Structure 1
Amino acid sequence: MLTGDDNSNGWDRASVLRALVGASMLPLVAPLLSLDPDAVHADRRTVDPDSYQQIVRCQRELYRTSPARPLYEAAYAHTQLGVGLLRAAATGTSRASLASALAESALLTARLAFFDLSQPAVAERCYDVALAATREAGDYALAAAVLGHMAFIPAFGHQPANARPLIDAALQHTWHGVSPMVRSWLHCVASEVEARAGAAAVSRRHIDLAASAVDSDSTPPEWLDFYDDGRLHSFAGYAALASGDHGEAAVQLNQALATLPGTSAKQRSVVLADLATAQGSDGDRVADYLNQAVDALHTDWYGTGLDRVRAVRPMLGDSRHGASLGERVAALTAGRAALSG
């Protein structure tokens, strides 16, 4: 995916992967190979998509309990393999199934790159692969999920005008027999986009739509393991914070925290940082929640969680709590930089 068929630059895969996750450099990723089967192979192979899908499923299950960087490297390599397999695969049902599995793999890789390792450029390339694969598969649910995830990149970059069309496109896919849970999650994504844009009323309206879309009788896709009632409460808490309703935010975030399993330290760091915000001027409680968030980051690194902690840190000003927390965050990031080097 990175070097193409002719590796004229002399980069092996290990070198490329090290560059992609380097702590001090913005990744420069060459255009990904086309999924068009006519682009390279005259002969066609029959590929068993189940074996490829099984590895995707295992890597997805490892997401909550494995260190982000090695899992990212494994997922990226598996996505690369999937691109090659799909380009060589014969047309038919097995090709469509392989394309769906590739979309899942590329989506997981992109999520690791963006949310865990803070590498949006790499994530964007992987989302492109995932979206192309959903078209090949005719998988509306996965297409909606990929487009929804793509919206986070401009949303985090303070470009809501670029995020909204992606949400709109994703929601259009949900009218093709897609699980209501996917639509619920998309409304939550839209809620965060609007919250970050300062549109608090619109953000909370999307939370209402997300709650009304939840259908207990619907079976969500297997890959939708990043969304449940607890995550809905987490998004609702963030929307309440955007509107200045700290009491409601605390209620929603505490419900989210209560539903998190012990293996969800990544999301725990985000919820705890948001709970710190909900404490307002109570410096002791703000510091307590932020220190708990840093503890969670020590257990499972999560770039998004660190960003959230840093965003709340100014609430402590130059107080003793603020200085202590600053030292902890500096030590944590220095340790991460040493590991990445």
Structure 2
Amino acid sequence: MQRRTFLAGAAAAGLTAKSSAAYASSAPASTLPDPAAYVATTARLRSRYWIEEPGRLLPVVAEHARHGARLLAERPEGAHCSAIAETALLASRIAFFDLSLRGLYVRRWQDLALEAANRGRDGSLAAAVLGHMAFAPAWTGRGAEARDTLAAARERTTSGDAGPTLRAWLDAIAAEAEVRLGTPDAAFPLLDRAADTFAPPDTPGSWTADGPPAWLDWFSAARLEGFRGAAEVAAGRSAEARATLERTLAGLPAHSHKQRAMTLAELAATAAGAREPQDACRLLEEALDLVGVQGYATAVDRVRTVRASLAPWSRETFVRDVDDRLRAGGG
């Protein structure tokens, strides 16, 4: 990942998030985006998330979110509201997961996404936004807030239009919340329920005959395995975790750089726990190779955590090589 690009994206994100509300209220009506074009652009940006360097993509998505805030003031139709919600949610995802921005930078986009989803009466998208709102408190030890937010997300899935993929994802992230909050044993009943709920591709049973909506592209059977593997690592079930994470890698597409990097870092944690430091460092280097292809701050954070567990071997060359990679910016 190019450090300069990373910083440029972060700076642009901050400026755009901070000014969106004022921009929406002050822009002349003649500059409003065309609603149909807005929806088409949203679809293009969705696909770019998986292939483009996040520092370059965030300013583009953030600007589109600003246009959405202006369009929302004109009370557009439901489909247009959903596109605005999806765009703002995407901006928040890039900021939080890819660039490790926190606080108001992310929350402003999430608030816009929730407002747009509610305006369009899109309960499933509102549930997805609330699910993402639970990450920040879960990652910072605010357990009651995280669990309450996830409960609110689940309430939005009771109207009948939310398919099993979304409900399974909510259970999976609830399981991750328990891991982050230091209660990994509480994650496994949630993961079992997610596995029972999740519909495989041949019988999607979701919103349409083709499965979940296009915006729900961050969850799959392999990723559900990844959640379980991370919980098993946290619970000290190293042998089970290794097998689960190997299945995760086998199920992820080759171009899924972000999730593959996370999975490799979790596998490194199992090697570190087994006192196999050289193997752990090899896996950490593979994870950083993928981060170098497409930046992902969440994976770098996990690499750093696993590296810290290798302190007894800090003088070994293979550990120092990982340190050099991390000092160089993670790529």
TM-score of the alignment, normalized to the shorter chain, above 0.5: yes
Query: Structure 1 vs Structure 2: percent identity of aligned residues?
Result: 34
- What do residues 246-292 of structure 1 show as CA deviations (whole Å, max 9, x unaligned)? 11111111111112222211111111000111122111211111111
Structure 1, unpaired ranges of 5+: 1-16, 336-341
Distance in 2 of aligned mates of 1:40 and 1:102: 18
Please state whether the residue corresponding to 2:249 is helix, strand or coil.
helix
Mean Cα deviation higher: 108-117 or 45-54 = 45-54
Please name the residue that 2:276 is paired with. 282
TM-score by length of 1: 0.84
Instruction: Describe the shift of the 1:266–1:19 C-alpha distance in structure 2 as closer, same or farther (beyond 3 A).
Output: closer
Trace 1:1-341 onto structure 2 (pairs within 5 A).
Answer: 21-22=10-11, 30=18, 32-33=20-21, 49-89=35-75, 94-121=76-103, 122-177=105-160, 178-216=162-200, 217=203, 218=205, 219-279=211-271, 280=273, 281-317=275-311, 318-320=314-316, 321-333=318-330
Distance in 2 of aligned mates of 1:79 and 1:167: 24
What number of residue pairs does the alignment pair up? 311
Distance in 2 of aligned mates of 1:125 and 1:313: 33
Distance in 2 of aligned mates of 1:44 and 1:143: 30
Distance in 2 of aligned mates of 1:277 and 1:27: 37
1:44 shift after superposition: 11
Distance in 2 of aligned mates of 1:52 and 1:42: 17
The aligned amino acid for 1:98 is H
Distance in 2 of aligned mates of 1:171 and 1:266: 27
CA contact (8 A) 2:165 2:212 kept: yes
CA contact (8 A) 1:184 1:214 kept: yes
Distance in 2 of aligned mates of 1:200 and 1:103: 32
CA contact (8 A) 1:103 1:130 kept: yes
CA contact (8 A) 2:20 2:66 kept: no
CA contact (8 A) 1:45 1:88 kept: no
1:294 shift after superposition: 1.0
Please name the residue that 1:13 is paired with. none
1:319 shift after superposition: 3.5
1:41 shift after superposition: 10
Distance in 2 of aligned mates of 1:185 and 1:226: 9
Please name the residue that 2:208 is paired with. none
Instruction: Describe the shift of the 1:19–1:69 C-alpha distance in structure 2 as closer, same or farther (beyond 3 A).
Output: closer
Structure 2, unpaired ranges of 5+: 1-5, 206-210
CA contact (8 A) 1:237 1:249 kept: yes
CA contact (8 A) 1:44 1:88 kept: no
TM-score by length of 2: 0.86
CA contact (8 A) 1:188 1:235 kept: yes
1:43 shift after superposition: 8.5
Please state whether the residue corresponding to 1:88 is helix, strand or coil.
coil
The aligned amino acid for 2:136 is I
Please state whether the residue corresponding to 1:171 is helix, strand or coil.
helix
Instruction: Describe the shift of the 1:124–1:47 C-alpha distance in structure 2 as closer, same or farther (beyond 3 A).
Output: closer
CA contact (8 A) 1:151 1:163 kept: yes
Distance in 2 of aligned mates of 1:99 and 1:278: 44
